[in-house]
Each structure stands twice: as C-alpha cells, then as structure tokens.
Structure 1
Amino acid sequence: MGADVEVSIKPMRLSDGRCDYFVSFKHGDREATPHVFRERFKAEYHVAFYRWLFGQGEKPYILDFKDDEWPAREYTADEQRAFASMGDLTCAKLADAFACFWNAAIGDAHNRQDSTAFAVVGSMAEGFAAIERRLREHGEPA
C-alpha cells in the first residue's frame, strides 16, 4: 500500500499574493489534504515524514527543514502543470489582474457593511486602476 500512495505538496496562491501549501495524499482516485501551512518548508518536512512513514524514503531530520532552505527536489506533475499554465507574464496579464481587484474588493467591503472598508477599498482601487491604465498604455516592450 505505501508505494501506491503519492505524497506531495499542492500550492494554492491566494488573492493577496501569499501562498498556502497543502500536504496531499493520493491513492488511486482518492485524495486528501490533511494539513495546510503558510510556509513551504513546513509542508516539505511533512511530505518527507509521510513518505518515510509509507516506506518511500529515509526518516527526515526536522532541523534540515528551515525557511528558504528546504531540500532540493523535482516538482511534482501537478506543480509542473500549474507552473506551465501560468505562461509568460505580460503587461496585458498584469493589467487584467489589477482590473480584477475592483470587483473582489468592493464585494468584500459590501459583505462587511463597513464604511471604513468602502473608503479604503475605494482609494486602493483608484491606485490599482492607475497601474492598470499605465500597463495598458505602455504595452509590451519592443
């Protein structure tokens, strides 16, 4: 059974730019993500630990897993597909991303029913709209 279990990390990029790292177990068509961490090195340790538990490697030493110092490894197939789908970052893509801020931010402020949130979001949206306009004006470098 242990060799049939794939243990990996599933990163999820959040709308505020941060990333959560889910520890995933996959066996056939069943999958579970029992842990989530804000720091990747913590997820890396848990993946190494569970791989050891399932007989897929050596027992990890916890102090080998430090912030920005996790062991080198190959990306999983899921991670490779996620990175490949991102493609090249262009001015148009950045402008579209900034344009998305308005609806998400206003929607959240509306749900909070908070006048301060509306004021802050309105000011931030103006700034992001200016960035969007500038990106669209200048376009891609020649």
Structure 2
Amino acid sequence: MKIAALHALIALLPALLGAAPVAAQNRAEVQMFRGQCEYSDRFAPLLERGDHSFALCDSATVAGGVFDFRRDSWGSMMRFEGTRSGDRMAIGHVQLRSGSRRAATGACEIFYRDGAVSTIACTAVAGGRTYAANFVPRR
C-alpha cells in the first residue's frame, strides 16, 4: 500500500465515525485516554483478506513519538513509534502484543471535535501487512 493510500485511510477512519479533524494542537505531554478502538463495518472485507490487523483496545496513551493502544487485561496491543510534529506522527516502527517490533511506514493523527480529542488513528505498513488502530475516547 502506498503512503498516499495510508494517509487517505487515516483521514477516512474518523470521517466514517463522524469525527472531523480540527487544526492540530501541539501536545508534547503524556496523554492517557479511556474509551475503545472502533471500526466501521466497511473495513470488514480487509480483515477477510488476511493482510490487515486492527488493534483491540480500551485505552490509548500518547507520549512524544509513541502512540500505544492497550487493553486493561492484556497490556499493549499495538504500539506505533515515530517522529511526531504536533498532532501528527510519521511512523518508523510498529510493535505488536507479542513484542515483535517491525520497521514500518505510515502515520498517526489526533483529531478534535469541539476542542476535545475525538479520535486517535494510526495506520502503518510493515512487511506487506497493514496495521491500524482507531481509538475513540469516552466523553
């Protein structure tokens, strides 16, 4: 998958869930959120292909160049690492629940609605496989 397609997918995730991006805000501190990873039914065919993985999560932590999607009972499910600028990050690595860390390309972005975080989305490609997380915090 090309980088342009990855960026299009990231932009599409919040739109499908009704979240609209707002001007990025620079947030360098550690941010922890409770909520859940949610995906539109439109992405079900991607799971059936077997070359896409979607994070299951009930919390997300954003700290510097790390976006970590976690489950209380299992710990980190999918962790994206890279170079962050404001609310966007260029992904350099993805780490899976198994501990496997892989070089990757892609992007993460924090979206806002009415001044509050509405969605945290990451999409990356590593070794021909696509990894995605689409987190919606509780309001």
Larger Rg: 1
**Same fold, judged at TM 0.5 (above):** no
TM score, norm. by length of structure 2:
0.21
Tell me: higher relative CO, structure 1 or 2? Use CA pairs within 8 A at least 6 residues apart. Answer: 2
Which protein is richer in strand relative to its size?
A: 2
Which protein is richer in helix relative to its size?
A: 1
